[in-house]
């Protein structure tokens, strides 16, 4: 007689409720446009993916009001000495890390100003540690270590909107008085409920069912780009449409700075190089010197008085809370 061994329930914990209904999510359902994908030629596969990708911008467009509100939140937070902290897991966490890491070189912000928290830690950027995303306790622990406060904006990223690690972290930050938002691709999720504002980009089913590294991740990249670029622009770290706060740490960025000064002030390359040198290799200082016809100490004073807002420094309007 053959007897069956009952399952070991002690070593097989029940998944959190937030992941049990994953099959109901639009990002997990099969995409009719890509049925039979494995039988298609390379060019047919590329066309299908490209056609689906075209839906992403339209989905993001519907969330512009919420994105704009978060842009102003972040600008106000940074102006008042607060931080933007992203938190995510898997592909969403990697998108968050990318946006946070690119702010210092492009806008000369401190690495502390825009941060990211990744489920599994920095090692998870290259080596997946996906099991961590199921832990609410780890999410709370990791955000608690950053001591979120009323000055901060916390943004949770989760394509499904149900990642326990992210939901718990955002809920904890909200309890501590931080302003919270989320970027997700499904309606009616626990993450949206845990956040003050939900940015929802409904991109629909993925070409490969459930592969949210595709359209969902693309929408998250677009939205994080909008948030930080918009906030830095509102802070005055962009002049016209020029990235004047660029940190000139290599030859490419030095050339970029020279080119921006030439365009903004309609001057020769030699003149731009001379002024940048006299400005201590600072494009904002050089720009204020040229536009306001002042020396370096006066340009530095104006920038300090305007909280780094280049246009206000040129016009000598002082600081602003707007």
| Catalytic sites, residue numbers | 102, 133
Return d(Cα 119, Cα 271) in angstroms, integer: 49
Burial of 106 (0-12, 13-18, 19+ CB in 10 A): middle
Alpha-helical (H) ranges within the chain are 17-20, 42-61, 64-79, 90-107, 136-144, 164-175, 190-194, 215-234, 251-265, 269-278, 283-292, 296-305, 310-315
How many alpha carbons fall within 13 Å on the CB side of residue 284?
26
Q: How many CB atoms lie within 10 A of CB 73?
A: 22
Q: What letter does residue 132 receive in the DSSP assignment?
A: G
Is there a contact between 37 and 48 (Cβ–Cβ < 8 Å)?
Answer: yes
Return d(Cα 229, Cα 247) in angstroms, integer: 15
Burial of 23 (0-12, 13-18, 19+ CB in 10 A): exposed
- Strand, coil or helix: 118: strand
**Inter-axis angle of helices 296-305 and 283-292, to 10 degrees?**
110
């Amino acid at each position: 007689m053959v007897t069956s061994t009952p399952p070991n329930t002690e070593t097989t914990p029940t998944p959190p409720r937030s992941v049990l209904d994953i099959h109901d999510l639009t990002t997990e359902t099969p995409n009719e446009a890509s049925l039979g994908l494995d039988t298609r030629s390379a060019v047919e596969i590329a066309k299908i993916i490209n056609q689906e990708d075209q839906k992403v911008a339209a989905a993001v467009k519907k969330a512009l009001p919420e994105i704009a509100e978060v842009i102003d939140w972040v600008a106000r937070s940074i102006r008042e000495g607060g931080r933007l902290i992203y938190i995510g897991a898997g592909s969403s966490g990697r998108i968050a890390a990318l946006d946070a890491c690119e702010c210092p070189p492009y806008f000369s912000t401190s690495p502390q100003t825009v941060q990211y928290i990744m489920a599994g830690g920095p090692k998870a950027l290259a080596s997946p540690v996906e099991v961590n995303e199921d832990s609410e306790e780890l999410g709370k622990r990791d955000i608690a270590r950053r001591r979120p406060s009323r000055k901060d904006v916390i943004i949770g990223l989760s394509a499904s909107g149900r990642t326990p690690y992210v939901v718990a972290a955002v809920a904890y930050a909200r309890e501590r008085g931080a302003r919270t938002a989320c970027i997700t691709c499904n309606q009616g999720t626990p993450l949206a409920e845990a956040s003050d504002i939900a940015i929802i980009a409904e991109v629909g089913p993925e070409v490969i069912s459930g592969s949210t590294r595709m359209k969902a991740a693309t929408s998250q990249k677009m939205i994080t780009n909008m948030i930080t670029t918009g906030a830095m622009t509102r802070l005055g770290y962009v002049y016209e449409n020029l990235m004047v706060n660029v940190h000139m740490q290599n030859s490419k960025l030095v050339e970029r700075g020279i080119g921006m000064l030439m365009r903004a002030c309609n001057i020769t390359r030699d003149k731009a190089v001379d002024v940048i040198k006299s400005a201590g290799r600072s494009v904002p200082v050089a720009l204020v010197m040229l536009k306001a016809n002042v020396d370096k100490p006066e340009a530095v004073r104006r920038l300090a008085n305007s909280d780094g807002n280049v246009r206000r420094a040129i016009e000598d309007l002082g600081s602003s809370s707007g």
